Amino acid sequence: MKEMSKTAVFPGSFDPFTLGHESIVLRALGLFDKIIIGIGSNNNKSSFFTAEQRLEMIQNLFAGNDKVEVQYYEELTIKFCRRVGAQFMLRGLRTSSDFEYEKSIAQVNQVMLPEVESVFMLTLPEHASINSTVVRDVLRYGGDVSKFLPANIKIEKYIK
């Protein structure tokens, strides 16, 4: 029997994409045949980087890796998963509050779309305190965030 290729969606705001996000994707590459990084539109959050900027930054970062794709979506995450044919949804966990939040989302998603299994990966300890909100705050006041972002993300291009 031919095994079905395993596709995971890694959804998030990625505003911006941090070392923590990169590490989750790289570690998960061993589990899946394809990872689609899904940049979701979030009406509750006004973004620092535009959708186009985030898409370009992440696409450039993974340009050499044909197992990673980046897409922007404006719909329910489970609908996006179904549309792209993903069987898994990948999320990263840093803290117990991440866990509580992720648990409720995953359980609601499971009721709505049981075919998509949520998979959680614990952050590496050195990335546990990296968070896009803090990175944005530092950026707003002109601070240096390079230690929190993948070395190949050229953020200067997008900051006035």
By rule CB under 6 A, what string of x and - marks binding of each residue 105-124 to ligand ADP?
Answer: ------------------x-
Q: Which of residues 42-71 bind ligand ADP (CB under 6 A)?
A: 42
Q: Is position 127 annotated as part of the catalytic site? A: no
Instruction: Please tell me whether residue 77 binds ligand ADP under the rule CB under 6 A.
Output: no
Q: Which stretch binds ligand ADP (CB under 6 A): 12-20, 55-63, 81-89, 137-145?
A: 12-20
The answer to whether 28 contacts ligand ADP (rule: CB under 6 A) is no
In angstroms, how far is the first alpha carbon of the chain from the final one? 54
Using Cβ positions, the residue closest to ligand ADP within the complex turns out to be 20
**CB 118 to ligand ADP: min, Å:** 10
Q: Do 116 and 109 form a contact (C-beta atoms < 8 A)?
A: yes
Nearest to 80 by CA among 5, 4, 11, 6: 11
Annotation says 157 is catalytic: no
SS (H, E, C) 96-148: HHHHHHHHHHHHHHHHHCCCCEEEEEECCHHHCCCCHHHHHHHHHCCCCCHHH
- Least distance to ligand ADP from the beta carbon of 127, Å? 4
Q: Is 16 in the site for ligand ADP (CB under 6 A)?
A: no
Residue 67 has phi, psi (to 5 degrees) of: -90, -10
Q: Does 132 bind ligand ADP (CB under 6 A)?
A: yes
Task: State how far the alpha carbon of 25 is from the alpha carbons of 29, 121, 138, in Å.
Answer: 6, 10, 24
* Cis peptide bond N-terminal to 16, omega within 30: yes
* Stretch touching ligand ADP by CB under 6 A, among 7-15, 56-64, 66-74, 152-160: 7-15
* Residues labelled as active-site residues: 21, 45, 94, 132
